[in-house]
Structure 1
């Protein structure tokens, strides 16, 4: 076989570029992993039992590995935090955590936290 011959599964532009016809199609990560809304869960805490963003990161990282893009805890001066938002790296993980339920209750260090689908208050 000569050096210019190509195997049957390669389509090439030259000797420099070889494409595999069996390769999976390219899908950008932003489309592949869902929108910011789909990747997010709204969280609420019991009055007087706030949970820090660090505790939330630690809990989910231990359970699922590096899975969180960010945690936002709403804070008002002079008040104990009561709610926030967790954005995961994928919409699939947010859906997995909820399962087929509308609200999930879990405990982090003995403090209750409720999670539900995040709904943006801003309309585009």
Structure 2
């Protein structure tokens, strides 16, 4: 269960969600699932606990890696069902979730999720925003192999995540051949005194290039000098850069410089 973030320090939030963090670490660091869809996986598992399946996360931590891997794959499919359009629901209703049923029994039916899909989606998205994108960020940064830098023009400096809202689709990639998020990330710097908001940035990219945004991480500084944008694929990155090392955009009259994100450890 999530607590109001504003009432907790980061350390307290991490301690309160220690089991969630353990599950997330196992997905990302051990099983090599992508960091960002994995947040929704943990959020869904937390949702199951909140609706009555007690100790769901604690119990699954005792599973073997292959079992958790299978459960995570099932969860991704379940999430894709939840976030698909109403016209696409019918083909999913006959799916079975054997690993999930080992933990929760037959009560976890897609019919229940579809009937309450907007409430369920809202609970998942709130948990991702209020918990995962705050309490898991040290794990994300460790997975990306980045160390904080005081120079915002050369590296992402311990950012907080601010989801752009484009979370309606999920990949069911098994994670074994995952393309590292850093290989499909853009680093964007803003002119001093002319910060660009998350909403402006997301709206511009989606409006110009379509649904290609997976996550947006904004500078902690209130003046917001830079951001890191994780795209859905490397081809999206190539399409936006157009073969150039540096491109410039004007978003609502504000200049934004864009280049590929290169962590310090690769330089």
Matches within 5 A, 1:15-34: 28=173, 31=177, 34=179
Runs of 4+ in 1 over 3 A off after TM superposition: 28-32
Counterpart for residue 57 of structure 2: none
Return the alpha-carbon distance in structure 1 between the equivalents of residues 243 and 211 of structure 2.
24
Which one has the bigger helix percentage? 2
Counterpart for residue 85 of structure 1: 228
Task: Tell me the alpha carbon deviations over residues 27-46 of structure 1, each in whole angstroms, 9 at most, x when there is no partner.
Answer: x47547x3201110000000
Provide the secondary structure at the position in 2 that maps to 1:37: helix
Task: Tell me the alpha carbon deviations over residues 12-57 of structure 1, each in whole angstroms, 9 at most, x when there is no partner.
Answer: xxxxxxxxxxxxxxxx47547x320111000000000000111111
Quickly say closer, same or farther: Cα 1:44–1:100, change in 2 above 3 A.
Answer: same
Task: Tell me the alpha carbon deviations over residues 56-81 of structure 1, each in whole angstroms, 9 at most, x when there is no partner.
Answer: 111111122221011111122xx511
Give the TM-score taking structure 1 as reference length: 0.67
Counterpart for residue 63 of structure 1: 208
Please list every run of 5 or more consecutive structure 1 residues that lacks an aligned counterpart in the other structure: 1-27
Provide the secondary structure at the position in 2 that maps to 1:55: helix
Return the alpha-carbon distance in structure 1 between the equivalents of residues 243 and 235 of structure 2.
13
- How large is the RMSD of aligned CA atoms in angstroms? 2.1
Bigger relative contact order, structure 1 or 2 (CA pairs below 8 A, ≥6 apart): 1
Please list every run of 5 or more consecutive structure 2 residues that lacks an aligned counterpart in the other structure: 1-172
Give the TM-score taking structure 2 as reference length: 0.33
Which one has the bigger strand percentage? 1
